[in-house]
A = this chain, B = another copy of it.
Amino acid sequence: MPLTKIALEEHFLDPRAAADVLADPDKLQRLSDGGGVMPEYYRPILGLLGDFDDQRLSTMDKFGIECAVLSLTAPGIQLVEGTADAIAMARDANDLLAEQVRKHPDRYRGFASVALQDPAAAAEELRRCVGELGFVGAMVNGYTATGDGGDAYLDDERFTGFWEAVADLGVPVYLHPRPAPPTDRHAIAGHPQLVGATWGFGVETATHTLRLIFSGLFDRFPGVQLVLGHLGEGLPAQLWRTQYCYDLNPFDKRIEKTLPEYFADNIHVTTSGNFSDQALITALLTVGGDRVLFSVDYPYADTELATTWLDRAPISESDRRKIAGGNARRLFGL
């Protein structure tokens, strides 16, 4: 019998927001463009994002997912320009999610949305979500609007207090993709298929992760755990080369350990949307079986494919059990 599984990068949207988009072709087009997907792909996705009771649970049942950690779908709060709006939206999303978790305490857990537009508010909301709502971590969708038309990555000094809260609470931060800004798409110009999950998401999120490492974040907060989707967003296969070239040209070196060591101490990767034997083997040989965790990326990726793939992947039963759920139980205290 296949192993039951815990899934970590599983998304939701307020069903009213989903209905709102579905009712307005322009909004649907805009949102699709923003995420690097096609409207005809996104339409059924929106329905599934807003559902908690019906198809979501029956899909989990059918394919043996005992528990899903839910998160507001990307780009979540990150691109909201107004700080007060962002704070309110995060709080609303978290409350809505908490209600669902309360309804299905054995099946759902939550990742907090945080309005990093106001880092102190984000820290406070994370404390509320973990302390009061029982959430198991935070989900951040890449760089965040700073309210002045700009944006900031998580290595920005303004986020020190947020990271202090993360370290203090001992919960992981899941760094989820967001597309590069429209002003910054030189290499993918004219190729809309490269904007999102097909390619651009990985590049953007892997780069963000390297910013965090090279900023010395994990030396200042050695216990902080970052979670990356998609088997590491392409980073695992590049660790050696990046370390080698960095050693040759260390510029403003601020870090104490090597990339493979940070991956052993501070980074986990999930299988969300990347059901590739070769990528899994690469992850096992660079990140290690203790730090690879199952995920689907529901409803963007296919649950049947995700689960049957892991059941048959060319790995040891020991690692399969850890990836299916053992590592998640340990990391999130499930």
Contacts and interface: CB of A to CB of B under 8 A. Distances in A.
Contact of A238 (B185, B279, B322): B279
Please tell me the size bucket of the interface on A: 35 or more
B197 A245 contact: yes
Given A199-B242, A240-B274, A318-B287, A207 B194 contact: yes
A44 B246 CA distance: 17
Contact of A41 (B211, B248, B279): B248
A250 interface: yes
Contacts of A238: 199, 202, 234, 279
A192 B252 contact: yes
A304 to B, nearest CB: 14
Contacts of A285: 278, 281, 284, 314-316
A75 to B, nearest CB: 15
Contact of A193 (B214, B273, B290): B214
A287 B257 CA distance: 29
Contacts of A291: 316, 318
A29 interface: no
A311 interface: no
A253 B192 CA distance: 10
A231 B191 CA distance: 24
Interface in A228-263: 230-231, 234, 236-242, 244-246, 248-253, 258, 260-261, 263
B193 A318 contact: no
A54 interface: no
- Which of A236, A241, A275, A317 neighbours the largest number of chain B CB atoms within 10 Å of its CB? A241
Contacts of A260: 316-317
A242 B194 CA distance: 9
A204 to B, nearest CB: 6
A22 interface: no
A305 B242 CA distance: 16
A58 interface: no
B187 A207 contact: yes
A201 to B, nearest CB: 8
Contact of A317 (B188, B282, B288, B321): B288
A19 interface: no
Interface string A285-297: 1111111000000
A263 B199 contact: no
A316 B263 CA distance: 8
Contact of A289 (B143, B230, B288): B288
A296 B191 CA distance: 32
A210 interface: yes
Contacts of A172: none
A302 to B, nearest CB: 9
B214 A207 contact: no
A278 to B, nearest CB: 5
B287 A241 contact: no
Q: Nearest 9 pairs between A and B by C-beta?
A: A288-B318, A240-B276, A277-B314, A288-B316, A237-B237, A264-B317, A184-B186, A198-B245, A197-B245
